[in-house]
Structure 1
Amino acid sequence: MRIKLAHSPDADDAYMFYGIASGAVKLPAPYVEFLADIETLNRLALAELLDVTAVSAHALAYACDKYYVLRVGASMGDGYGPVVVSRGGEVKHVAVPGRYTTAALLLQLAMPGVKTVEIPFDKILEAVAAGVVDAGVVIHEGQITYHRAGLKKVVDLGEWWLRETGLPTPLGLDVVRSALGREFAEQAAKALSESIKYADAHREEALRYAQRFSRGLSIEETARFVDMYVNHYTRDMGPKGEKAISTLLEMANERGLTPPCKPVIV
């Protein structure tokens, strides 16, 4: 059996999976790799078509009984996160990078009065700059490059989340399909942990590899972005990270935005 391993083609995910991609770290089973934007991965996971994959914390609410959550590999912002940007002026229509992204959920929680429009994440800056929408929620490298498009920050949703909860911002998670069993999930978690350790031990070459997925960032900017989202919560989310996930899902459910979910973390 070949498992279907998926993650986003982004610098932070590339860094995390460098040990596996380089062949230095082995997964518990042979695999085929599939790279796609996070919203595509979310939708495939909701259909239970991926075995080991990155998903948005928001999407987990709709696949709670289908996947184990790994305590390693999470993308959590420590007082920072997706950024709402605009040209200035009144904000009515805001572009989001997908219905099931955590960015979209955080926007709904922080700015419930706005209307959202789904636009691929790599077109949001262009849409805002062109005036197609009033504002947009930027993720990935857009969080540190939006100034280049002449745009201004309306709100950093990670800063908002920290003020509201005192917790890190739970954005992306790595999950394993429950049908594969808890033991397999634990083995996958160990392999991913070893992959990150390998990247840390070979940082320069891991960053060069990650830069290939950074869509125009310099090596210094790639390192900055990787360090934002491959942090101590990534290596082990710990009790604070677990609480961040449960708080997000509970808050969303209480406001009628998602179904209830009590994730199983391994």
Structure 2
Amino acid sequence: MIIAHTPDADDAFMFYGMLSGKVTANFEIEPVVEDIETLNKRAFRGELDVTALSAHAYAFLHDKYRILSTGASVGDGYGPVVVASKEMEVEKKSIAVPGKYTTANLLLKLAVDDFQPVEMRFDEVLPAVKRGEVDAGLVIHEGQITYSQHGLVKILDLWKWWYEKTKLPMPLGVNAIKQDVLDTLSHPSASSPALLPPCPSRAQFPHPCYRKCLTAGISSIPALN
């Protein structure tokens, strides 16, 4: 079974139980680690059995995938932000976005009437803004915390915009399983929440992809080092 998630540190923790073998199954697991927009697009092509998805992308995939009961990403006081090299209005600017089907991009389109989106990988957004290739950038994952280290300033907080409009938490991402896989799996964990062990420290992660994911995410946040 192909199980996919992003390189973000929280995804590495969420999927650790299954992909490390701590949670056993009667099928072989093939791990895939890609940026969220790549996962969204691969899910559109039906290539992933279990995967992290943007909440926005899931709206297009609800007939092919089912949301799992664990592992959703919901913002409460925290969410995507637009950053730039200096204070400016967001309207009519070129803005780097981490993918057409990301929830962050949908929120930006709802909040801003007129801007020019420039699609790129999430980890290319901050460097592109620094180099002046775009006027501003829409950042997700740890970039929401670390943008100031790049000499950038926040010009739009999409969590604040969302909460002022809805007074609700912000749905950002989900974990989902293909409907046909769910229908054919006989293992109990296919239809019930997987029980994950207590989250281990970085030093206890045996698989190199998890050590890399966690180190990359945590090392960019000074307070956590």
Pairwise TM-score range, normalised by the shorter structure: 0.7 to 0.9
In 2, Cα distance between equivalents of 1:28 and 1:167? 39
* Structure 1 segment 156-175 matched on structure 2, within 5 A: 156-175=157-176
SS at match of 1:49: coil
Unaligned runs of 5+ in 2: none
In 2, Cα distance between equivalents of 1:219 and 1:199? 25
Pick from 2, 7, 10: which aligns with 1:9? 7
**1:124-152 C-alpha deviation (Å, 9 max, x unpaired):** 11111122111111011111100011111
TM-score (norm 2): 0.86
1:251 aligned residue: none
SS at match of 1:176: strand
Pairwise CA distance, 1:21: 3.0
Pairwise CA distance, 1:221: 3.4
In 1, Cα distance between equivalents of 2:163 and 2:188? 30
Pairwise CA distance, 1:83: 0.9
1:177 aligned residue: 178
1:122 aligned residue: 123
In 2, Cα distance between equivalents of 1:180 and 1:112? 40
Residue-pair matches, total: 216
SS at match of 1:39: helix
CA contact (8 A) 1:90 1:134 kept: no
Q: CA RMSD in A?
A: 2.4
**1:212 is aligned to 2:215:** yes
Pairwise CA distance, 1:33: 0.8
Unaligned runs of 5+ in 1: 223-266
**1:154 is aligned to 2:152:** no
In 1, Cα distance between equivalents of 2:169 and 2:83? 21
In 1, Cα distance between equivalents of 2:149 and 2:198? 30
**1:51 is aligned to 2:52:** no
**1:144 is aligned to 2:145:** yes
In structure 2, do the counterparts of structure 1 residues 37 and 10 end up closer, same or farther at CA, with 3 Å as the change threshold? same
Higher share in helix: 1
SS at match of 1:65: coil
In 2, Cα distance between equivalents of 1:51 and 1:38? 15
Which residue identity does 1:154 align to in structure 2? I
**1:69-126 C-alpha deviation (Å, 9 max, x unpaired):** 1121001111211111111234311110011111110100111221211021111111
